[in-house]
Amino acid sequence: MSEQRLVHVFEELADALVPGFDTTDFLRTLTDRTVALVAIDAAGILLTDERGHLASVASTTEPAHTLEQLEVADARGPCYDCFTTGRPLVNLGRDATSARWPRFQHLSGEVGFGAVHAVPLQLGNQVIGSLNMFCVATGSLPAEDVDTSRALARIATIGLLHNRTARNAQAEAAQLRQALTSRIIIEQAKGMLAEGAGCTPAVAFDALRRYARTHGRPLHDIAAEVVDGTLTPPTSG
């Protein structure tokens, strides 16, 4: 593997990390390039969502996807354990997997894989998944290939966590804008109701809130109807 080729792949993955990038396409590119750069026959990704649910989200072949699905269903296996421990598990032939993960060992033999390797998608103490590599033949990965796969996994982790942070920030900003808009409308409705009924703003607000709760509707919606003149809640019980 040439240094130039490795740099090109890193640049390709970095270029994909634009705001709002397509996570599925990015992870499929990651698995494709892992197969191209490392001495393996298939690759896949186990990834958690923001709620901690683990799933097989990208695989270069159906047999790799099948193995990953088994591990998620059983909550055990080399790739699953790599995720839960945050430690790489490499150079595992079928003999090495038979005692610890007999169902995985049996299925990997059926689909034609002789060895499995997994490195965590990890940044600091945070592990969000694993990059999994499968080989038809038994044997060990060269140390250079292990280092390459770990570097690819690190790039992916940084991109995914950055994307999640950006999405959360956008959601929080949207919620703040909505809260500010609601407050303005509620203040307008409170003032209009107080003026029309000849009561204090506090009494008007209690009337708005009581009407919303009685009718099972959002306070913002009641206030908006007061502002546009389609509703006048009573200011006394």
d(CA 144, CA 173): 44
d(CA 119, CA 83): 8
* Range with the poorest average pLDDT among 22-31, 74-83, 103-112, 194-203: 22-31
pLDDT at 70 over 60: yes
**Structure confidence at residue 171 (pLDDT):** 63
pLDDT, tens digit, 9 for 90 and up, residues 4-30: 777 777 777 766 666 666 777 788 888
Q: How many CB atoms lie within 10 A of CB 110?
A: 11
Residue 79 and residue 130 in contact, taking contact as beta carbons nearer than 8 Å: yes
**Structure confidence at residue 7 (pLDDT):** 72
Q: How many CB atoms lie within 10 A of CB 208?
A: 20
pLDDT, tens digit, 9 for 90 and up, residues 163-189: 777 666 666 666 667 767 888 898 899
pTM for the model stands at 0.69
If one compares 219 and 16, the residue with the highest pLDDT of the two is 219
pLDDT, tens digit, 9 for 90 and up, residues 41-54: 999 999 988 778 89
Joined tokens for residue 172: 């929080």
d(CA 75, CA 103): 12
**Structure confidence at residue 201 (pLDDT):** 87
**Structure confidence at residue 233 (pLDDT):** 87
Region 77-81: mean pLDDT is 95
Residue 120: alpha-carbon gap to chain centroid: 15
Return the HEC string of the chain.
CCHHHHHHHHHHHHHHCCCCCCHHHHHHHHHHHHHHHCCCCEEEEEEECCCCCEEEEEECCHHHHHHHHHHHHHCCCHHHHHHHHCCCEEEEEHHHHHCCCHHHHHHHHHHCCCEEEEEEEEECCEEEEEEEEEECCCCCCCHHHHHHHHHHHHHHHHHHHHHHHHHHHHHHHHHHHHHHHHHHHHHHHHHHHHHHHCCCHHHHHHHHHHHHHHCCCCHHHHHHHHHCCCCCCCCCC
